[in-house]
Each structure stands twice: as C-alpha cells, then as structure tokens.
Amino acid sequence: MNPRVKAVIPTDDYKLILTFKNEEEAIYDCADLLNFGVFKEFQDIHYFKQAFVAYGTVVWPHEQDICPDTL
C-alpha cells in the first residue's frame, strides 16, 4: 500500500505535484486521463486545477478521484 497524499499542486500541463504523508514527493501525469470517461472534465484546465486532498487521495469537486495506490 502506498502512503497517503498530504498535499497536491496541479500544474498547467496536467501534472500533479504530490507530497505524501511520509514526506516523499512525486509527479503524476494526468494527460492520459483527459479522454477517459469521468476524467474528460479535466480538459478544462481551470477545473483540473481545482484538485484537492481528501482522506489521503486527490479529488475534484465533481467527485472524480485518483486512488493513492495509482499515484
């Protein structure tokens, strides 16, 4: 099981800069998700940049999320 996300910074090029609870950092590229089902809404960069952390994972206002095990 991967550590849980503590902080996220979404970028203009559809990447997430992540800080995990164990202080590790990573970058996750969301570009491959832009044409996939519920994630199509990410094509609006203003919406994509509304990402926030809830319960150790990255989520968006319309309930999309990315499992921390994927990150």
Domain residue ranges in the chain: 5-56
H or E, element range at 45 = helix 45-48
pLDDT-derived band of residue 1, with 50, 70 and 90 as boundaries?
A: low
Q: What is the pTM of this model?
A: 0.91
Give residue-wise pLDDT tens across range 6-32.
999 999 999 999 999 999 999 999 999
Question: What pLDDT digit, counting tens, does each position of 26-71 carry?
Answer: 999 999 999 989 999 999 999 999 999 999 999 999 999 998 888 8
At CB < 8 A and 24+ separation, what contacts does 28-31 make?
Answer: 28/66, 28/70, 28/71, 30/66
pLDDT computed for residue 3 by the predictor: 84
For 28, phi then psi, to 5°, come to: -115, 125
Nearest to 50 by CA among 35, 63, 32: 63
